Structure 1
Amino acid sequence: MFRGALFRGKKIGAGTALARRKALASPFLHRVDFSAQTNTMVENGESSITRVLFCGPSFPASHNYTREYLRNYPFIQVDVVPLDSVPDVICDYQLCVVKNLRLDSEIIARASKMKLIMQFGIGLEGVDVDAATKCGIKVARIPGRTSGNSASCAEMALYLMLGLLRKQKEMEISIMQKRLGEPIGETLLGKTIFILGFGNIGIDLAKRLKPFGVKVLATKRHWVSNMQIFRQQNGHCSDTQAPSTESGDLDNLVDKKGGPEDLFDFASEADIVVCCLLLNKETVGIINEKFLSSMKKGAFLVNIARGGLLDYEAVVRNLESGHLGGLGIDVAWTEPFNPDDPILKFQNVLITPHVAGVTEYSYRAMAKVVGDTALQLHAGSPLTELEFVN
């Protein structure tokens, strides 16, 4: 996916097969050549610094890899600022990578030099986009289809699904108690999977599910007729455009398509529900008591999107009653997750620490996008590789 875009029409050069595999595997190794722009700025006496603000120390690979990518560009400064200190210093930065900070109108109003607010990934639910727009600040995300983020998240969904089916926690107990042949697990083979939100992550998940011999149901607000080939417009993509694919390929990935009106019918048919939705005012708490009650008794629920999509109390009640057969989540209602939370007492609950998109591949690719964006801002060039929301 990302690999083809980087190396199409380029000769990797002589070397060992291992060296060539490494070159193809790491998008970080391929840099945009900004040398001409840099020389022009030096000749013109340009000595200003473009400052990049990473909000908070969480997800450390994001800023570490970005710094590494920009190490040869001294006119780009990358700072990591504690969340509590962001309001006091945001006025000094041109680019803000928000991560898990809630960037409200009050903080945005202080960003007097800010040109762009972006996410190291997809979710922008913490950013007051209207406030940014009023202040003349662009807001953007990194498309998951180009960064490897959607593929990484899809693989995590598979991991959680298989962990629930094979009863991972019970297997750990069997090891401790020296019991062999227990527990009896289940297979993905023959299961019906409901992908709630068929965006880039949902598409990558469906591609990986098909070889397992499953039936795939999927809902999406708007299905593009014939899943037309994605087109770039004005340097960024529109929310209404379809992801890049061979025409008609996606039709073969989904056995039954639906919209918001089909949520409960699809939930009642599925053995596993996988939540891949963006979090917004329409989707917050969408996995509520009504939705959970419509699910099959004993069905599994997996969430690799945002914790706020799930109604915590409703999920706990359905785990306690046994109606919900298992829960696998990479995101939680409060993060970092409380290790003493009573939900962890259930043997059929698997929780991972918000690492679905945190892979070497995706983080190197996203660091490259952030680095190139900073360089483009500094040079006054058009911003590419981003998906703008305002």
Structure 2
Amino acid sequence: MISQAAKMQLIMQYGVGLEGVDIDAATKHGIKVARIPSDGYKEILLHNEMQIAIQQKKLGYPTGETLLGKTVLILGFGNIGIDLAKRLRPFGVKIIATKRSWASDEHAVGDLVDVKGSHEDIYDFARKADIVVCCLRLNCETAGIINNNFISLMKKGALLVNIARGGLIDYESVVRHLESGHLGGLGIDVAWTEPFDPEDPILKHKNVIITPHVAGVTEHSYRSMAKVVGDVALQLHAGLPLTGIEIVN
């Protein structure tokens, strides 16, 4: 498709994920590839299991667990990681995070992170975390990064949350540690296969929650992204510098 697009100047993802774009081919043909930065376009949708207790006429159930005093590891401290840390801070958690480079983000990060680390620190940080939240981008370096070694180093009963891409977590390792009881729970907003099999045996575990990756599927976010797309199209047509997007090649 790219080789046939003689007049193509820009391929822009309606959001962040670029897995469906052949970036190398676009670069070869002189076509820019861009995404819309996630900052400001994600909203929160709540999944409330307590409705089950209401339907069963049970009050004071289920027993919850506090975030106060917990250590949360955020793998990949980009825009989503920063927004997550802002929401976690009021709950009295200790935040440890990893990032390829911290040099350019000192102002944005401020005092959101108690301990900063790089890729080399993930195993050490895994030992310290009560909750691990994966916010990494999927590439050849990060694919399957949450593997058997990583999960086995986590505290017994610790929680694992993946809100980035399914391929970041090794499926068999997660299943193994859920069945052994080492992994205290799994929350995923992305899956290993698309469409996700609703009969997947991993869902038999009561401590597994899956949501359909809809945090950005709201009227507000879609209208906001549509405006960015329109603005960039006008900039491109007028030969102006492209703003409001992230060029990746």
Q: TM-score range by the shorter chain?
A: over 0.9
> Aligned ranges for residues 8-23 of structure 1 at < 5 Å?
none
- Counterpart in the other structure of 2:241: 382
What is the aligned residue count?
Answer: 249
- Out of 93, 96, 100, the position equivalent to 1:221 is 100
Q: 1-side partners of 2:105 and 2:230: how far apart?
A: 36
> Aligned ranges for residues 71-90 of structure 1 at < 5 Å?
none
Q: 2-side partners of 1:115 and 1:270: how far apart?
A: 45
- Out of 166, 171, 193, the position equivalent to 1:312 is 171
- Counterpart in the other structure of 1:185: 64
Q: 1-side partners of 2:52 and 2:239: how far apart?
A: 58
> How far is 1:172 from its partner?
5.1
Does residue 210 of structure 1 match 2:104? no
Partner SS for 1:364: helix
Amino acid at match of 1:131: A
**Structure 1-normalised TM-score?**
0.60
Q: 2-side partners of 1:251 and 1:291: how far apart?
A: 28
- Counterpart in the other structure of 2:119: 260
Identity %: 72
> How far is 1:282 from its partner?
0.5
Is the contact made by 1:304 and 1:356 (CA closer than 8 Å) also made in structure 2? no
- Out of 254, 266, 270, the position equivalent to 2:129 is 270
RMSD: 1.9
Partner SS for 2:212: coil
Is the contact made by 1:330 and 1:354 (CA closer than 8 Å) also made in structure 2? yes
Q: 1-side partners of 2:95 and 2:28: how far apart?
A: 42
> How far is 1:322 from its partner?
1.1
- In structure 1, the gaps of 5 or more residues are 1-106, 229-244
> How far is 1:225 from its partner?
6.4
**More displaced, 190-199 or 125-134?**
125-134
> Aligned ranges for residues 1-390 of structure 1 at < 5 Å?
107-145=1-39, 148-149=40-41, 151-152=42-43, 155=44, 159=46, 168=49, 171=50, 173-224=52-103, 227-228=106-107, 245=108, 250-390=109-249
Partner SS for 2:132: strand
Name the structure with the higher helix share: 1
Amino acid at match of 1:323: H
Q: 2-side partners of 1:272 and 1:190: how far apart?
A: 11
- In structure 2, the gaps of 5 or more residues are none
> How far is 1:383 from its partner?
2.2
Amino acid at match of 1:110: Q
> How far is 1:226 from its partner?
7.4
Is the contact made by 1:194 and 1:217 (CA closer than 8 Å) also made in structure 2? yes
> How far is 1:361 from its partner?
2.6
Q: 2-side partners of 1:131 and 1:389: how far apart?
A: 13
Deviations 1:144-166 (A, max 9, x none): 22xx13x53xx46xx57xx6xxx
Q: 1-side partners of 2:106 and 2:194: how far apart?
A: 36
Q: 1-side partners of 2:246 and 2:75: how far apart?
A: 22
Partner SS for 1:109: coil
Deviations 1:278-308 (A, max 9, x none): 1111001111111111111111111111111
Amino acid at match of 1:128: D
> How far is 1:173 from its partner?
4.8
Q: 2-side partners of 1:322 and 1:112: how far apart?
A: 56
Amino acid at match of 2:85: A
Q: 1-side partners of 2:105 and 2:215: how far apart?
A: 30
**More displaced, 121-130 or 323-332?**
121-130
**Structure 2-normalised TM-score?**
0.92
- Change in Cα spacing, 1:132 to 1:254, as seen in structure 2 (3 Å) is same
Amino acid at match of 1:348: N
Q: 1-side partners of 2:182 and 2:98: how far apart?
A: 23
